[in-house]
Amino acid sequence: MKILKIPKLPGESQIKSAVVKTTGGLVPTRKSPEDALGVLFDDVQTKRVYGDGKIFVDLIPRRRMKQIQQEYILLKDDPRFDLRDFVSRHFYKYGAYDSAYHTDTSMTPREHIAELWHVLERKNRRDRGSLIALPYAYIVPGGRFSEQFYWDSYFIMLGLAADNRWDTIEGMMKNYAYMIRKFGFIPTANRTYFLSRSQPPFFAHMVKLLARHKGRRRTLIEYLPYLLIEYRFWMKGRGSVKEVSEHQALARVVQMPNGVILNRYYDNKTTPRPESHKEDVETAHGKNGQETEALYLHLRAGAESGWDFSSRWFEDPNDITTIHTTDIIPVDLNSLLYQLEISIAEAYRYMLQPILAKKYLLAAERREYAIQHYCWSEEEQFFVDYDFKKSAPTQHLTLAAVFPLYAKIATSKQAAAVAVRIEKDFLKEGGLMTTLENTGQQWDAPNGWAPLQWVAIEGLRHYGYHHLADKIKHNWVKTNEKVFKEQGKMIEKYDVQSHSGVGGGGEYPLQDGFGWTNGVLAALLEESKD
């Protein structure tokens, strides 16, 4: 007797995910707060109603923003008007997930991380203020960051993979596929005010990570359409960049003197960042007109880089007003795009499309040659960024130099020189410093960051420098464990030189949670068990 298998009815969660996927592409995205609220937005941020500008842009309006704006214009000139009270009556905060969490100090760091995935998980299937709905659950970094951030997510996924949470990884990947379909690229995070910029393109790495679980051929073919859209976003303008008279740069592409197209970080707006409005306005104080717009563009591009901020982008290491991010060909960005081109070529090979595979392989080879030509400093024996307006390398030595090793672009001789310099100048008791400049910016010395430790360790391993990689790993893990033991938390960044290990600097207070620290530490500890 044949038993009929009754299909399982979709649960409420599956239905909600399906609704977002189906309707999300049809429903227009709301305006960003600075566009929707006008003078109210400017007053709240400039008068610093909240100490952290991100708090306001993340609040949810109780009514349509246009109505709130109109009411504000009517009331604001009344002598008895209270701006803070007005905001508190018309906006509210969505969720306070982390505030009630208390660390169980009897746990090991590894156990703590496994538990934290539940604390850092979010489900948001409808637009809420500036927060954009996504069909599947996702992991956030923590602290002030309650969105699915782009490059953070790759390092978070490393930890999720270590904990065998492949369903969560795949859900986050489907969220990225959804955003690529909806916006044509992956924004910094799912916020309306991030829709003018992206972040370091780690999507191809996420695809390959998921392929460990689902199979390489199947996964690369499945995500090939999204890899191609990601690539087109970064390469937009390459067909017309030759017609640009000055420096042959357009959006995120730059045509180099040898004819090869390389990339830079950019942003599609030239206004203050909404989440850091007051800081940007203060930085631009004394400038005017085109000078002000150029400064805002450089600040926004620096934010797209993920290194916001670092002396890496400054002409004067101690003066943020000398930032010139869009003049720079970043060695890390171009190494990541090389890996994207290689991934697309591999996917086309699996599809038995040799002509298309060769096209992207040749693009990768041209990029590799250009990185070697423009981003290798014979004088420093180190990979550096390149200032295409000055036709010269920048003078800053940073951990971005390990990305060509991570991408397997470096020659054996170059890798040996980079390894020597890393050990001599960057390696400290707590791990690797980000730069050699101590400026108070958070992406400078003495801070170390989890993603850069991982890229350095993996890059050095590619060239056989296992002893140095293990030393970096040991120092970094020791610092993470020490701070956890003393403070009961994982933090965003670490001071790799001080006894405390607690990082600082930057535009906002040190954040705990913390997504990519958890992910990298879990992955490093898990490999030690093998």
Comparing 95-99, 169-173, 174-178, 246-250, which segment has the lowest mean pLDDT?
Answer: 95-99
Residue 427, pLDDT above cutoff 70: yes
- Over pLDDT 90: what percentage of the chain? 89
Looking at the DSSP bridge assignments, the partners of residue 435 are 398
The model's pLDDT over 88-120, given as tens digits with 9 standing for 90+, comes to 999 999 875 556 678 888 899 999 999 999 999
Task: Please tell me which residue in 368, 492, 495, 512 is annotated as part of the active site.
Answer: 492
Give exposure, 262-288, as e/b (b: 16+ Cβ within 10 Å).
Answer: bbbbbbebbbbbbbbbbbbbebbeeee
The whole-number pLDDT of residue 105 equals 81
Q: Any idea which residue has 């169980």 for tokens?
A: 104
261 DSSP β-pair partners: 255
The domains of the chain are located at 28-93, 106-235, 237-382, 397-530
| pLDDT higher at 160 or 24 | 160
The tokens of 476 are what? 């970094």
Q: Is the pLDDT of residue 241 over 80?
A: yes
pLDDT at residue 301 greater than cutoff 50: yes
Q: How confident is the model at residue 2 (pLDDT cuts 50, 70, 90)?
A: very low
Answer yes or no: 387 catalytic.
Answer: no
C-alpha distances in angstroms, 20 versus 10, 186, 285, 365?
15, 17, 43, 40
User: Of the listed 308, 327, 368, 495, which one is catalytic?
Assistant: 308
Higher pLDDT, residue 99 or 514: 514
CA quadruple 451, 165, 135, 492: dihedral positive or negative? negative
Q: How far is CA 267 from CA 198, 250, 253, 296, 488, in A?
A: 8, 11, 12, 9, 38
Average pLDDT value over all residues in the chain: 94
Q: How far is CA 266 from CA 236, 245, 296, in A?
A: 12, 18, 11
The yes-or-no answer on residue 52 being catalytic is: no
d(CA 276, CA 209): 33
For the chain, state the CA radius of gyration.
23
Kindly list the distances between the CA atom of residue 91 and the CA atoms of 66, 68, 69, 80, 130, in Å, as whole numbers in the listed order.
13, 10, 12, 20, 12
The reported pTM is 0.95
**Helix segments in 25-149, DSSP class H:** 33-37, 39-46, 53-58, 65-75, 83-90, 109-119
pLDDT in tens, 10-45: 666 776 666 666 666 667 889 999 999 999 999 999
Report pLDDT for 225. 98
- Tokens in use for 307? 């290194």
According to the model, what pLDDT value does residue 15 have?
A: 67
